[in-house]
């Protein structure tokens, strides 16, 4: 597994590089945003770990530039700014996940492996899930609605596929966290709600028939239904 770590704190770099190397990963390091972007654009990595507060180009800017060229590489944001607003800003820039500082190394390793596993194209037999003009190809990991391709990050795709495979079932936020993020703990933020909103903008906006609906106090349900005053 090839990892690009874009981080300017030498002590943290030393700890992360040593730990990931011992875990069998190949780690490259960039000490500022400009160098990180150049390395991301000229080399192939399985995952990019981005600090947000970097010299030169910050992590948000780097992430946006990477996403202009590559929608598939997994990106994990590191941030000392752990408010929901800052986390949402990072996710909106194209990151697949975030990890607030300080963090425990086993959690970092677990998130890295989870993100890389999800970003890889599956080898399951070809299967297209269709509903209300939406087609999800579980082999190519792509989606389109009314023949219009939908650009999805790895996390967005896995959330959509999980919804589609569990149509007409009320799914709690905990269920979604455990099955989409593959980590059994409370992330302590509204990250599920954030990603649901991302999906709604991409697959529901502009269509009379909505697919993602809120079940207040319980979670979400994926079904073909016109949006009414009690749905979100």
Q: Is a pLDDT exceeding 70 seen at residue 78?
A: yes
**Strand 170-171 versus strand 219-226 pairing type:** antiparallel
230 near 210, Cβ under 8 Å?
Answer: no
Cα–Cα dist 37/203, whole Å: 30
Residue whose entry in the numeric block shows the structure tokens 């770990």? 49
Burial code of 21-51, b = ≥16 C-beta within 10 A, e = fewer? eebebebbbbbbbbbbbebbeeeebbbbbbb
When pLDDT is cut at 50, 70 and 90, the band that residue 93 belongs to is confident
- Least Cα distance to 82 among 106, 99, 103, 96 occurs for 99
Find the range with the poorest average confidence among 70-74, 83-87, 94-98, 120-124: 120-124
Q: Is a pLDDT exceeding 60 seen at residue 224?
A: yes
Cα–Cα dist 186/203, whole Å: 27
User: Token digits for 112?
Assistant: 């890295």
Q: Is a pLDDT exceeding 50 seen at residue 76?
A: yes
When pLDDT is cut at 50, 70 and 90, the band that residue 185 belongs to is low
88 near 77, Cβ under 8 Å?
Answer: no
Cα–Cα dist 59/115, whole Å: 18
Residue 128 pLDDT: 84
Distance of alpha carbon 100 from the chain centroid: 15
Residue 226 pLDDT: 64
Considering only residues 122 and 180, tell me which one the structure prediction assigns the higher pLDDT: 180
User: Looking at residues 82-98, what average pLDDT do you find?
Assistant: 79
């Amino acid at each position: 597994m090839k990892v690009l770590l874009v981080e300017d704190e030498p002590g943290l770099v030393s700890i992360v590089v040593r730990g990931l190397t011992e875990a069998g990963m190949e780690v490259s390091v960039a000490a500022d945003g400009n160098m990180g972007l150049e390395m991301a654009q000229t080399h192939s990595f399985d995952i990019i770990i981005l600090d947000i507060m970097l010299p030169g180009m910050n992590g948000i800017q780097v992430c946006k530039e990477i996403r202009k060229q590559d929608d598939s590489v997994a990106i994990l944001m590191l941030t000392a700014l752990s408010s929901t607003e800052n986390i949402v800003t990072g996710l909106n820039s194209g990151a697949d996940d975030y990890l607030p500082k300080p963090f425990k190394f086993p959690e970092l390793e677990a998130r890295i492996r989870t993100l890389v596993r999800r970003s890889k194209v599956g080898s399951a037999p070809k299967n297209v899930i269709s509903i209300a003009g939406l087609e999800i190809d579980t082999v190519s990991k792509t989606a389109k609605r009314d023949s219009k391709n939908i650009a999805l990050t790895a996390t967005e795709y896995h959330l959509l596929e999980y919804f589609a495979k569990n149509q007409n079932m009320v799914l709690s936020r905990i269920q979604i966290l455990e099955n989409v993020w593959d980590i059994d703990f409370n992330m302590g933020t509204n990250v599920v709600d954030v990603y649901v909103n991302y999906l709604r903008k991409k697959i529901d906006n502009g269509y009379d028939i909505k697919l993602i609906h809120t079940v207040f106090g319980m979670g979400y349900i994926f079904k073909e239904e016109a949006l009414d005053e009690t749905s979100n």
